[in-house]
Structure 1
């Protein structure tokens, strides 16, 4: 059996900027308008994003301050995930997960994301994908993405002690780097600014445009 950890943003779903808007609103509230979010969030953990925003405002980035900013972000996220910018699945997400869900003797489905657990659950719920996953590693487990994946693997092995291999599915170079750091295979999904060539050059074993390709399911099962 293998543990498969899916990234969320850009891999399973598109939140259409909801996370950024929620963070920007939280930064204005917590930092008094002095913090900046003018950088790419791609592949970053929520705690790393919060730390950078606090530093840009010249504020303390101790753990309590990061906790407060992340909590303010989560409190605003639901409002940003509804309406005209409603979250949508990456093409093929539900079909891919449905197929894997029937391979319970071969695959254990988990999450490996920079989102804190509360944010991850909200995004997955709005996308209709939350019920597929029993465990995961989240941005509240650690600030470094590789440590997030390690937490997900540990939880997966706690449920499936006979699992031997780990596969990470992600759309950014940070996903690939973190997967390689923990000795996992990485499958790249080229839905964002990191192209097929970028992902493969970074070490992804194989890449796909999205989750519709039947070859992706075979790659996850073989």
Structure 2
């Protein structure tokens, strides 16, 4: 098969879509806030589902009436990765049904270009994927180190995916796979379609109402997912 043949780009969200880290992400935020800024804050007012790490950090600084400078942002994100790495040693992660099997099939398909679109910063995204045994499937992605808006993260992921492909390669189709209305909106913002899965906090009905192009309970039926993506 020609390496510059049209590809189907499939961009996956992490939390709630591929896996669940059972609160380790929130806990790492709490611990890093105290370590870097001395703030003892349980951040119960923060909604993480569909959010981005940079936006969360901005919300916290607004709540504390403090100015978030580039230096403080950089220091916090470095500490966040350290805290999550330490928590990961004793944490349990759960891959959602069918994820490992689906990624194995997609990664072996030369028609497919895989990527990540996540609200995590890059270092913590890699920690989570590695913990779940999925890191090796993803070489490119968009992350929240510099972008607070998920649509901008999706644009970054798509640009990096394009840059990694042979010159002249076109995308036959672009799909994002996610579990929140934010994933759906980000997909549509970059001209992609969204396959939404009800493995997070939102139901099939919620995701349909949010405008998903296709909705499944989970990714357990590999053949059904491939048909939806136009790969079978």
The TM-score normalised by the length of structure 2 is 0.89
Q: Give, in angstroms, the shift of residue 100 of structure 1.
A: 1.0
Residue of structure 2 in register with 1:96 after alignment:
102
| Residue 41 of structure 2 corresponds to residue 31 of structure 1 | no
Residue equivalent to 2:149: 144
Answer whether contact 1:141 1:151 (CA < 8 A) is retained.
Answer: no
The structure with the largest alpha-carbon Rg is 2
Match of 2:12 in 1: 6
Q: 1:171 aligns with which of 161, 174, 179?
A: 179
1:133 aligns with 2:138: yes
Cα shift readout 1:159-191 (whole Å, capped 9, x = no counterpart) = 233224211000111111111111110000111
Structure 2: which 5+ residue stretches go unaligned? 1-6
SS in 2 for 1:5: strand
Q: Which residue is 1:76 aligned to?
A: 83
Question: In the comparison of the two structures, how many residue pairs are matched?
Answer: 220
| Alpha-carbon offset, residue 66 of structure 1 | 2.1
Does structure 1 conserve the Cα–Cα contact (< 8 Å) formed by 2:175 and 2:195? yes
Q: CA RMSD in A?
A: 1.5
**Which blocks of at least 5 consecutive residues in structure 1 are unaligned?**
none
TM-score normalised per structure 1: 0.93
Counterparts of residues 203-222 of structure 1 (less than 5 Å): 203-213=211-221, 214-222=223-231
In the alignment, the residues of structure 1 paired with residue 64 and residue 40 of structure 2 have an alpha-carbon distance, to the nearest angstrom, of 5
SS at match of 1:22: helix
In 2, Cα distance between equivalents of 1:217 and 1:64? 44
**Retained in 1: the 8 A contact 2:8–2:173?**
yes
Q: Distance in 1 between matches of 2:218 and 2:19?
A: 10
Q: Cα deviation per residue 1:185-208 (whole Å; 9 max; x = unaligned)?
A: 000011122111111111111111
1:159 to 2:167 alignment: no
Question: Partner residue of 2:3?
Answer: none
CA distance in 2, matches of 1:36, 1:21: 8
Structure 1 segments of 4+ aligned residues over 4 angstroms from their partners: none
Could you tell me which residue of structure 2 aligns to residue 112 of structure 1? 117
